[in-house]
Amino acid sequence: MSFWEKIRTGLGEGLETISEKGSEWSKLAKLKWERRSLQKTIFQKMVSLGSKSYELHVQKKPEQLNDQTKEDVSELKALKGSLDDKESEIQNLMDKIDKTQVKGLKKDLEMGDGTIEQFIVGNDSRLIDKKLMDIRFPKNVLVGTIVRDEKVIIPDGQTVFRKGDRVTLLGTKADVEDVVKKLGKES
């Protein structure tokens, strides 16, 4: 079996790993976005609490101040609990993601003068709105995954490239570097 055939055979397992990891990274990004949304809601609630408390104090309605404060503080506690749960989910997922597998694939590729690289399809890229099957990549370059809007795509010939896609390429170092140089900016 030639070196390239060994690499292609190993890539199936590697792509499976990358796909799994890509999905995990996408889930992580989604969790972080949800965490940010909760943080924003908590901040807004705290500002609202301060504003309401001040207005009730100025209006000399201390009896309403206690009731409103208790209600708002109770809501803040619930939001804080949700935020703590989200933080825990994020940490658990980060612990689960094993970065060494992707690094191992890169190391294996580099031992045989291969590489794995990513680039982002830029605003003026020739790839935009083209199908994978219509693009001539060098023989020794394989498009592994495309990440679009935090979702991992395992491309086939019908996959159409969009602006902002993060494209993973595998293959011989010279060919992959040439494609990255010609088609996109490295990420």
Class of domain 113-186: alpha beta
> Which amino acid belongs to residue 141?
V
More confident residue, 6 or 149: 149
123 backbone dihedrals φ, ψ, rounded to 5°: -60, -35
Compute the Cα dihedral for 76, 150, 106, 13 and give only its sign.
Answer: positive
For 60-89, the pLDDT digits (tens) are 777 776 777 788 888 888 998 999 998 888
What is residue 165's three-state secondary structure?
A: coil
pTM score: 0.48
- Angle, helices 3-58/62-96, rounded to nearest 10 degrees: 170
Question: How does pLDDT run across 82-102, given as a tens digit for each residue?
Answer: 999 988 887 777 666 655 556
Q: What are the domain boundaries of the chain?
A: 3-96, 113-186
Predicted pLDDT at 108: 74
| Helices vs strands, H then E, count in the chain | 4, 5
**pLDDT reading at 162 higher than 90:** yes
